[in-house]
Amino acid sequence: MRIFSRVEYDGTNFFGWQTQPNKISVQKELQNAISQIVGCQISIVGAGRTDAGVHAKNQGFHFDIPDEIQNKILDFDKFSYQINSVLPQTIAVFGMQKVSNDFHARFCAIERTYHYYISLKKNPLSFNYAVFFGYKLNLEKIKNELKSIIGTHSFESFCSSNNQLDNFFCAINFADIIKTNDDFFYIKISANRFLYNMVRSIVGTLVDISRGKINLSLLEIIAKKNRKFAGTTAPAKGLVLENVRYEKF
């Protein structure tokens, strides 16, 4: 039986989503918790990988339960409660349901949405979840730059330079600034896929463009297809994987 679930986590103290030797990861904590509850080793597959320090609100993952122990899972609400009871306080599962055996949390996803939270003043209460850059930002310029990248482009300039990819194309469905109050806003970007460090590279570049440190536009940097033309990579703590969307649910 294949099960799909959502998971929310505070990534502050994790070395990202993916299991790594001798490091604490979200994937490892989930696998350990589920395995403990069902009584056998379980592996999970996530909709994507988040970097160290990045948070998630609606990450998706799936896992398979052996036929011989399926009778242990008759109530998904109870099953979720049991898993949450042994997970760290910084991770919670929800929205668990049975899916077809050909469902894949990564490959069946049709859209990912990220929010990058920025504070325009020093704010201790949001220190772990928003970034205060310490510069005066031209929000109208940032908004216009974001609007310009809606569509399909090769984002090689905004991908980590040590990548091993052969496809850099991503279809951006939405990109804009959402203000929550006079001192706080987030950058929302939705796409069919994202490259490693792509959102953080875009945000860091937008800050550099706003400051006048970079004189190229995002589209001009995209056309260069070279990471050296983009700006700094923004800190991980401001980034949240807000949602992963599927056709079925």
Judge whether 5 and 93 are in contact, CB under 8 Å. Answer: yes
For 34, the token pair is: 């589920």
Q: Among residues 4, 14, 5, which one has the least CA distance to residue 90?
A: 14
Judge whether 46 and 105 are in contact, CB under 8 Å. Answer: yes
| Active-site hit among 10, 51, 75, 176 | 51
The span from the CA of 138 to the CA of 219, in Å, is 18
- Answer yes or no: 51 catalytic: yes
The span from the CA of 202 to the CA of 118, in Å, is 14
Q: Among residues 209, 239, 231, which one has the least CA distance to residue 135?
A: 209
The span from the CA of 19 to the CA of 58, in Å, is 19
End-to-end CA gap in the chain: 18
Q: Among residues 81, 42, 94, 85, which one has the least CA distance to residue 65?
A: 42
In one-letter notation, the amino acid at residue 232 is T
Tell me, rounded to whole angstroms, the distance of Cα 56 from its chain centroid: 6
* Structure letter (DSSP) for residue 169: E
* DSSP-derived 3-state class of residue 165: coil
Active site residues: 51
